[in-house]
Amino acid sequence: MTRLFPVRGDQLSLGLPSLLACEKSSDVILMMEVREEAVTPRHHKKKIAFLLSAMRHFADELRGQGYRVDYITLDAPGNTHSFTSEISRARQRHQAEAVICTWPNEWRVAEALRELGSELLEDTRFLSSRAEFAAWAAGRKQLRMEYFYRQLRTRHGILMQDGEPEGGQWNYDVENRNTLPHAITIPPPYEEAPDTVTEEVLALVERHFPDHFGDLRPFPYAVTRAGAQAALARFITQRLARFGDYQDAMRQGEPWLFHAHISLYLNCGLLMPGECVAAAERAYRAGAVPLNSAEGFIRQILGWREYVRGLYWLKMPGYAAQNALNARRPLPNFYWTAETSMNCLRQCVSETRANAYAHHIQRLMVLGNFALLAGLDPVAVNEWYLLVYADAYEWVELPNVSGMVLFADGGLLASKPYAAGGAYINRMSNYCVDCRFNVTKKTGPQACPFNYLYWDFLDRNRASLTQNARLTLAYSTLDKMPAPVLTAIRDNATVFLAGLT
């Protein structure tokens, strides 16, 4: 009996449950390059190239392990460019009696696979299951990541000492917000020169997707597990020690700083979360990195990554349609062009376009903060985040954007909107130095737009947010503003937002 085992581009792991169930002598692995997945939405050129090259390298690795691989390239004759149609074609081609898949990472894909009659195996590559998260969430009015994180720390014995958190605290977030010193030395990022396979893919992407967002070259990313492991090792030895202090910092012309740059490898399966967490803990136990760095990094994986996946599957499909603040404004064109006088936004969009990457504070407190304050439509904002970043898949992107960035879920994920004026960006970066706006001015033509947009956001969303306990001080300040000041804020915001279109 022949069975068909489709493997998607975010499932590039030899320990994939469906691969472990595959009989090498009789079963067939199906891998597909389909246009449908590249253009809905129209993904960043680098993201497409990364996944196609990683898929081709993984197919070669599977063949080397003795698997029978049916690989459909983008240019293959008869390619229907639909993953469901290609599965149906392959099932007929191989006379397969069953289709067995590892649970996918998008709701729409799971639904499509179920409609095909596929058997879905639980994805064991995460440190918690969907069922475990659902059990933890049952009966809770608020689903705070911190408490789920503590449960996973305890269950897996990570950074624990005699049943208590290492150092006596669960979370060292307050030690993750230092301003980057001017004279600090930043190590270069891990890079690999494209091999023959990657060069073929780069030419393919340029030929088929020339009008997609982003720069295709230079292309420095690893595309194999060995390369991804080398990138992780480089981070642990060269960056992790200072990651804790400076993970929230931003600097013009320095997109990489002390971040790991491994999320694209984690989210496609070339790295496993457990090995990343273990590597950080070993470094801490060896005295090579401080606790705030090890804990801060581990929290990103064991905390946020596991948490948003659980929330995604618990709340889909309705979660994608939520818009608690009734935000309707279209996405401004500068999110594509970087043509804006606001230097912080110009820098973050430019780096996103160049690298298919921006670190989490750029995504949350610059790009996301603006989207929140301006009342941008969650559907448009989610699509933008999903297509521009090489690590973005709906399960991780949607809760982070709708919940953390936009407060579109009404506070299910975040205890308050992550809204801030220009002072925060000025404190955590040097972007304001080269900006034509003055970050110290609150209103007027020279004022930083973040300043009056912040207060206008609170003002126009008063009915939805005034009962939020974490905004009590902000609303108290707003209520004490003289009428002329509030009028100026509203007028400045109205003129600015009208100019976005």
- Cα maximum dimension of the chain: 79
Residue spans in the chain of domains classed CATH 1.10.579.10: 334-499
By CB neighbour count within 10 A (0-12 exposed, 13-18 middle, 19+ buried), where does 266 fall? buried
Query: Could you tell me the fold of the domain covering 3-121?
Result: Rossmann fold (3.40.50)
Residues whose CB is less than 8 angstroms from the CB of residue 181 and which lie 6 or more positions away in sequence, other chains included: none
Report which of 339, 374, 335 is spatially closest to residue 358, judged by C-alpha positions.
Answer: 335
pLDDT confidence bin for 142, thresholds 50/70/90: confident
Position 141 scores a pLDDT of 82
For the question of whether the overall pTM of this predicted structure is more than 0.85, the answer is: yes
Q: Which amino acid is at 103?
A: W
User: Which range has the worst mean pLDDT, 6-15, 136-145, 284-293, 320-329?
Assistant: 136-145
Residue spans in the chain of domains classed CATH 3.40.50.620: 3-121
Share of the chain above pLDDT 90, in %: 98
Tell me: the pLDDT tens digits for 381-396?
999 999 999 999 999 9
Which CATH number describes the domain made up of 130-187+239-315?
Answer: 1.25.40.80
Tell me: the pLDDT tens digits for 48-60?
999 999 999 999 9
The stretches of 21-98 forming alpha helices (DSSP H) are 35-39, 45-64, 83-93
Residue 501: pLDDT over 90: no
Average pLDDT over every residue of 57-68: 98
Query: 119-121 and 3-6: which strand pairing?
Result: unpaired
Number of neighbours of residue 76 by Cβ within 10 angstroms: 13
Average pLDDT over every residue of 108-133: 97
Tell me: the pLDDT tens digits for 224-259?
999 999 999 999 999 999 999 999 999 999 999 999
Distance CA 270, CA 227 (A): 9
Task: Measure Cα distances from 375 to 153, 180, 368, 396, 411 in Å.
Answer: 36, 31, 11, 22, 16
Residue spans in the chain of domains classed CATH 1.25.40.80: 130-187+239-315
Position 175 scores a pLDDT of 82
The CATH homologous superfamily for domain 334-499 is: DNA Cyclobutane Dipyrimidine Photolyase, subunit A, domain 3 (1.10.579.10)
Tokens 């801490």: give the residue: 284
